[in-house]
Structure 1
Amino acid sequence: MERITASSATIAACLDRYDGLHILMFASPDIDAAAARRSAAGIGHGAVNSVQRPVRTGGETLIETVRYLEIDSADPDAPRGAVAEGRVGVVANIDPRFQNTRRLEHPNGAFDLVEVVVCAAAADLAAVRARYESYLGYPAHAEGATQVFDLDDARLVLVPDSVLAERLPGERAPALPSLVACAVAVRDIEATRELLQNNGFHLGITDSGDPFVPADAALGAAIFFHQGEPDQRTAPGLGCRPALCRHRPGTRKSPCRS
């Protein structure tokens, strides 16, 4: 309960900073090994925590346990369980018994979270890259002005504020650094585009040609959509991939609930 209370306080502070995305969790098949590796690398974290909740499935109620850790900032004055851009950590892979009880189909065709974009001041990008290299345990590679971590079938992209508007026209970071966008794989990109437009969203186009819902219409962070192939997803290998991004709760309908 103490950890839940502390996490809630962290999110409240993040929301005071700006509306949008504030949580990025990397899924791991072995959360205890992930904690040990980060401890050995000198990365501060709050150890592995467990929370439970009841889930109704197959006519019975089972208890789902979620195990996770939150990474601490290197700044001694920062609150525990948060870094500059928000709450970042590692979560144990979800038990498929519980995953299958959730809504796995969405009208927009979404089936996977495949990219998260962190925007930082150009002068700070190297330091942010170094932080995530230590968090993940392997290096990023450059794609133009951006730095990219390939995480199995997903990517973490670090973009300097000086080129954010080139990647996502019309977008600007609400703060630096911040989680400014995420990408969702869909089964039929044209059907997704039509659904979004019919629901009243005015779409932008990324530098790679993908449609996106601007941040001001998507609860504070842009959401863009990739044509995907759900039957060609790679099996987990590196053990870390973006797992969870959350918008601030609101009354408006989010274009994606992946």
Structure 2
Amino acid sequence: MPHDTTRLHHVGHIVEDLAEASVLYGRLGFSVPPPSCPGMPRSAGGAPEPFGAANTHADFADSFLELATCLKAGETGRLPADTRLVPLEAPAEVRQRLVERIGETSADLAAYLDRFQGLHILMFSSPAIDDAAARLTSAGVRHGGVNTVRRAAPSGAESPIETIRYLEIDAQEPDTGTGAGTVPEGRVGIVADLDPGIQSARHLDHPNGATGLAEATLCVADEELTATYHRYAAYLGRRPRQEGEGLIFDLDGAALKIIPKSALAATLPGEELPALPALVAYTVTVRDLPLARDLLHRNGIPLRETPTGDFFVPAKAALGTAVVFRAG
């Protein structure tokens, strides 16, 4: 029977300063377009000003890396100068709810940053998201149901409108204080597969040769490994395989790696934990590993080797997350 979760859809890197992060990702060899941010006048007749949250993507054919930050009044200097404002244009009865939802998103991002700057979002891709929602419900996994949002598609896409359908997994106990759409390690959910006719219109070529999102690494306390295994087995409808002290959930062309704290030094030498549990790294595949390594050396990016032959940028040099490069 086909699985209803097939690969990684995206990971979200939450940063303090999006301008700084955009420059860093350029030095890492990713093509990152100007970010977008909601805009709203602060006074009647005034020009729209950024508020809430801003984000941008490094895109691949069937996945992407998200960079996001939250904004407070007067913090627009933390946005790149070319940030694209998206004015809120909606009927009054809808507009207020939009403002509330953007405020909720911004508050979530602020809470993540209070934990640490780094990875806090992990989304899996699904060709059948309604089936995935039904399976989660049958398995007793709390989630917010399938939501639908629409936005303008990029220029050159096959459709002028991009439809995004997603669900977010909630903490199993309503009174844990983690909030809706949040589990202990951050925001985890399932998103309908990206539309190839729309995704192909985005900038998919990267100077480092990156071709896709291959793996996310979650580190947990040793005593929480079994419970985390059971959670993700329910989320994904799959069983993992053992690899050393860790567990690997194999998806179609990608994977989730869950490691205990005791295995971090062997998995990512020299890395330190910001908190537990934590999404500590993501892995991208590249067409030419030596070429990617040379580009990073030229750009002054420090690198370390993994025991499996990959190389990675340490979290201290990459705003809180290790970035692993692997031959595709």
Q: Is structure 2 residue 317 aligned with structure 1 residue 197?
A: no
Q: Whole-Å Cα distance in 2 between the matches of residues 59 and 156 of structure 1?
A: 31
Give runs of aligned pairs for residues 1-258 of structure 1, distance below 5 A. Answer: 1=98, 4-58=102-156, 62-77=160-175, 78-228=178-328
Q: 1:8 to 1:46 in 2, by over 3 A?
A: farther
For structure 2, the 5+ residue unaligned runs are: 1-97
| Structure-2 separation of matches of 1:58 and 1:147 | 41
Other structure's SS at 2:272 match? coil
How far 1:3 sits from its partner (Å)? Answer: 5.1
Moved more, 74-83 or 60-69: 60-69
Give unmatched runs, 5+ long, in structure 1. Answer: 229-258
User: 1:235 matched to which residue of 2?
Assistant: none
Higher relative contact order (CA 8 A, sep 6+): 1
- Equivalents in 2 of 1:193, 1:8: separation in Å? 35
Give, as a single letter, the amino acid of the residue that structure 1 aligns with 2:239: P
Alignment RMSD (CA, Å): 1.5
- Name the TM-score, length of structure 1 as normaliser: 0.85
How many pairs were matched up? 228
TM-score by length of 2: 0.67
CA contact (8 A) 2:169 2:182 kept: yes
Rg bigger for which structure? 2
State the alpha-carbon separation in 1 of the partners of residues 252 and 238 from structure 2.
13
Distance change in 2, residues 1:3/1:142 (3 Å)? farther
Q: 1:4 Cα shift? A: 5.0
Task: Work out the CA distance in 1 between the residues paired with 2:184 and 2:145.
Answer: 19
The percentage of aligned residue pairs carrying the same residue is 54
